[in-house]
Amino acid sequence: MFRVLVLHGPNLNLLGNREPSIYGTASLESIDAALRKLSTELGIELVIRQSNLEGELVTWIQEARGDCHGIIINPAAYTHTSIAIRDALAAVDLPTIEVHLSNVYRREEFRRHSYVSGVALAQISGFGSSGYLLALRGLCEHMATSGSRGCSGGGSSASGTTVSIS
């Protein structure tokens, strides 16, 4: 069975209450529930974690090596600051999709730079909570087309792309 690590970065535990005009009204719990539902349909197992601590996220990425087939990560503010997360993702060499709820390219200038995107298979930004589902389908499709087992369905390939909506 295909196993995917889903990591939520800092402040995402506040979703639903935190700046809903930017991040939407979906709670982290509802996002995780939708991911679990889709993972059941796709026949894959998810490990879902959230932390406000950079080192904890790095440790979980390292632990995914040999245990998971891919990673979906919303590094949140660490996107723009964490070389440690970028280096951990590069070291484990697992297909990774970077997700952002808002379209970071329509926001402040500092949010337009991602340390993670250079080591990610794809980046999805601006689709709100649906971005996580797109990431899961895209990662599953990638794994299916690259010869991995465990995905019974999927969406269009996300290889090397950035997807965002205005």
| Predicted pLDDT of residue 147 | 66
The average confidence (pLDDT) of the chain is: 88
- Determine the Cα–Cα distance for residues 20 and 130; give it in Å rounded to an integer: 15
Can you give the pLDDT at residue 156? 36
What is the structure's pLDDT at 162?
Answer: 43
Decide yes or no: CATH 1.20.1250.20 for domain 2-164. no
Render pLDDT for 104-159 as a digit per residue (tens, 0 to 9): 877 778 778 899 999 999 999 999 999 999 999 999 999 998 866 445 443 333 33
State how far the Cα of 41 lies from the Cα of 163, in Å rounded to an integer.
Answer: 23
CA distance 143 to 155: 11
**Per-residue pLDDT reduced to its tens digit, 77-114:** 999 999 999 999 999 999 999 999 988 877 778 778 89
What DSSP letter does each residue of 30-51 carry, written as one string? HHHHHHHHHHHHHTEEEEEEE-
* pLDDT score of 18: 87
List, by residue number, the catalytic residues.
Answer: 23, 100
pLDDT tens digits, 19-50: 888 888 899 999 999 999 999 999 999 999 99
